[in-house]
Chain A
Amino acid sequence: MRTTTFTIALGLAATTAIADEVRVYNWSDYIDEELLEKFEAETGIELIYDVFDSNEVLETKMLAGSSGYDVVVPSGTFLQRQITAGAFQELDRSKLPNAENLWDVIEERTAQYDPGNAYSINYMWGTTGIGVNVGKVQEILGDDAPIGSLALVFEPENMEKLAACGVHMLDAPSEIIPAALNYIGEDPDSQDPDVIAKVEPLLMAVRPYVTKFHSSEYINALANGDICVAVGWSGDILQARDRAAEADNGVEIAYNAPAEGALMWFDQMAIPADAPNPDAAHQFLNFILDAENMAAASNYVYYANGNAASQEFLVEDVIGDTAIYPDEATLENLYTTTPYAPKVQRTVTRLWTKIKSGT
């Protein structure tokens, strides 16, 4: 009921949208809010900024149509499927002079989801890995705890001991299942339901010890010391590290991309086909593509971006941290995935429900 009324309200708002406003729908904890004020001051366009914490929520809004948003930020595989469904409009590069700042290393990789990068620009990218409360994990598993390995979360004997302290995992089958496949030596990007089924025993064995499958609560939970381990997104865990350091509560958080290999993902900014204000949306993208603005965003959220020109403005904490900007060796160890076909998606979701609920 709540969501229905909300959607209706949005729908109404969308039809009455005036030319000088832009509605942006981005991930939670994913921008320096000062940038939003700067955009309004520079362009005189009113910015309405909403957040979500899962690709699924965004995709459902996109596929329902008339979302009322001008800029949205799906990840690569989701972007690809939504382009096929006709959810986005091609970008007008003449309105994006700052697009020359984009980094070819990242553009090459995002082109596999969006051929020729016709519909999207890269906002941020990162890896999916493990965040640990170093002190507590070492207290439980000893000083040689495998904090840089998936064994920490995929071996029941480790998880059994960590359970009392708390373990969160992303509620995102498209992230956890590839990691599990990779851990058992299968292709993380497998589309074969029989191969995907092989992770079931592994994940079923550790599920009793997972405190919660959730995709955003772990930032606070890690920072407050409520949990010891989180399988999550690189920058989120680094934000938790900083929040804990600021709170000075004795919690020390570390992030590691698993030694076995990690999923590399790309969050892409795109303009919905039915965006009420595509012009303002292009202005927003161009603003984000500005080297200094993009650097400010990365400096704030601890994610790498796809903007080569921004790198000179990045603080050492970001550009010099191999957890954010991996070195060559780590980069080779990263893998990417492609979208699941509808039938495979159903297998994956069913498996995920089974893992989460035990049924």
Chain B
Amino acid sequence: MRRLLISIPYLWLLILFLVPFGIVLKIALSDVALSIPPYTPQLDLSDGWTGFRAFWAELDLENFWFLTEDDLYWKAYLSSLKIALIATFLTLLVGFPIAYGMANAPNHWRPTLMLLIILPFWTSFLIRVYAWIGILSNEGFLNQFLIWTGILAEPAKILNTDIAVYIGIVYTYLPFMVLPIYATLEKLDGTLLEAAEDLGCTRIQAFWSVTAPLSKPGIIAGCFLVFIPALGEFVIPSLLGGSDTLMIGKVLWEEFFSNRDWPVASAVAVILLLILVVPIILFQRNEQKQREAEQ
């Protein structure tokens, strides 16, 4: 029984991660062809062992070498990393005060505030990102408002720039930052803050020496939940970003759709995954440590 329970998450990992990854890796080792599907070799099981050997013989690492020949790819990886890091930091900057406010709100208010954070999920993600086009465009609400208040004389170009991408990512992933931070802040023992003040801390000092360290697990969890999807983000940069917003998700799209080169596209995806595995392992370690500390 116990073994069965343990096997469920592993089965989950196998079906939803390892099998798709195996398929992508296999395509990454294939060659492009004008056929359905557009790559060779195909594994022909009817030929038995010889079929498998022929299949194996044709696989090679050529597509991975190709990625090193053109500086487009590492520039796109780096640019995605930069955008994801900055966006995560901005989300933290916006999300932490929200979570802090929620955790310090009167008890009877909290369910309502929680509902307000989750409410945007009731609308499709795509529609919400599209709505930002209307807000940020040259003739959009934001520019009209800024001109009306007299802050701007001419409409500012916000849509189709990196700024719009940051706004989009911060907006979309904000709940993923707020919820874990709120969860840790809510558990925070208020007497610790009183003790800090008794010992002569100002409120700001108490915040930095008590609240901030104790909310670290929530902050780390929130940052990972934002950083990981933001790194491979495709929808937000393609709808809100400009043509010079270089992100690996867009490069992957080009390889897959414009070049019809599934093998190179798959190689790009495999490398992206490897880049993500590093922070995921760090995240895992952190969780583990935390659990051990709690016990």
Contact = CB atoms under 8 A, between A and B. Distances in A.
B144 interface: no
A112 interface: no
Contacts of A211: 160, 242
A65 B243 CA distance: 30
B36 interface: yes
Interface in B42-72: 70-72
Contact of A353 (B34, B72, B257, B261): B72
Interface string A287-300: 00000000000000
Nearest to A217: B133
B254 interface: yes
A81 B34 contact: yes
A85 B38 contact: yes
A213 B243 contact: yes
A303 interface: no
Interface in B231-282: 235, 242-246, 251, 254, 256-261
A359 interface: yes
A353 B70 CA distance: 12
A357 B35 contact: no
Contacts, number: 79
Interface in A314-359: 342, 345-346, 349-350, 352-354, 356-359
Contact of B246 (A2, A346, A352, A357): A357
Interface in A53-89: 54, 56-57, 59-60, 62-65, 81, 84-87
Given A212-B160, A357-B244, A342 B34 contact: yes
Interface residues of B, number: 30
A146 interface: no
A180 to B, nearest CB: 16
B230 interface: no
Contacts of A212: 160, 242-243
B36 A86 contact: yes
A358 B75 CA distance: 11
A212 B32 CA distance: 30
A196 to B, nearest CB: 15
A56 B257 contact: yes
Interface string B5-44: 0000000000000000000000000001011111000000
Interface residues of A, number: 39
A319 B284 CA distance: 66
A221 B36 CA distance: 37
B75 A59 contact: no
Contacts of B71: 359
B194 interface: no
Interface in B205-232: none
A1 to B, nearest CB: 9
Interface of B: 32, 34-38, 70-72, 75-76, 137-139, 157, 160, 235, 242-246, 251, 254, 256-261
Given A346-B261, A352-B258, A359-B246, 11 more contacts: A56-B260, A59-B257, A60-B257, A63-B38, A85-B38, A86-B36, A210-B243, A221-B137, A225-B139, A349-B254, A353-B251
23 contacts: A56-B257, A60-B260, A62-B36, A65-B36, A81-B34, A85-B35, A86-B36, A166-B138, A210-B243, A211-B160, A212-B242, A221-B137, A224-B139, A342-B34, A345-B259, A345-B260, A346-B261, A349-B259, A350-B70, A350-B72, A353-B72, A354-B72, A359-B246
